[in-house]
């Protein structure tokens, strides 16, 4: 485990498949999440939002943004707060917008809603094992 504000190194003894899984927990250990396993490679560079779900049944959640970057042959993975996640913004006065990242379950922790003039950060399971996490939107009036 890495404490907030710290860093660490990871390396592989084999270059065949370099896969990783992000495991995150808040300081109280009430919220936690495991990302989907993903390969560390150049096509994975980007920002991936991750939901930390409550271990209890009260449905609380917290969001993280997992950023993957590369400098020469070294990859870096940075975990930051919800303010760095993707954002859903509703600028239409007569509709509500709901969003969910494809590949997440029907668990309410993965549904996000925005009313007029509202900005909502949204997240899913972190980096996708394959392909790209697609956003599903529903608009209601």
Q: Of 88, 38, 105, nearest to 66 (Cα)? A: 38
- Which structure tokens are listed for 95? 């509709």
73-124: per-residue pLDDT in tens?
788 888 888 888 889 999 999 999 999 988 787 888 889 999 999 999 998 8
pTM (whole model) above 0.75? no
Look up tokens 């970057």; give the residue. 69
Cβ neighbours, 10 Å, residue 6: 7
H/E segment holding residue 98: strand 96-101
20-39: per-residue pLDDT in tens?
888 777 777 677 777 777 77
Name 137's bridge partners: 99
């Amino acid at each position: 485990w890495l404490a907030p504000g710290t860093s660490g190194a990871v390396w592989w003894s084999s270059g065949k498949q370099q896969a990783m899984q992000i495991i995150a927990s808040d300081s109280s250990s009430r919220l936690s999440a495991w990302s989907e396993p993903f390969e560390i490679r150049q096509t994975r560079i980007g920002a991936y939002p991750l939901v930390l779900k409550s271990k209890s049944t009260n449905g609380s959640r917290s969001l993280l943004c997992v950023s993957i970057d590369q400098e020469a042959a070294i990859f870096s993975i940075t975990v930051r707060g919800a303010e760095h996640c993707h954002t859903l913004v509703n600028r239409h006065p007569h509709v509500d917008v709901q969003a969910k990242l494809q590949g997440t379950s029907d668990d309410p922790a993965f549904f996000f809603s925005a009313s007029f003039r509202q900005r909502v950060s949204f997240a899913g399971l972190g980096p996708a094992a394959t392909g790209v996490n697609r956003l599903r939107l529903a608009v209601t009036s």
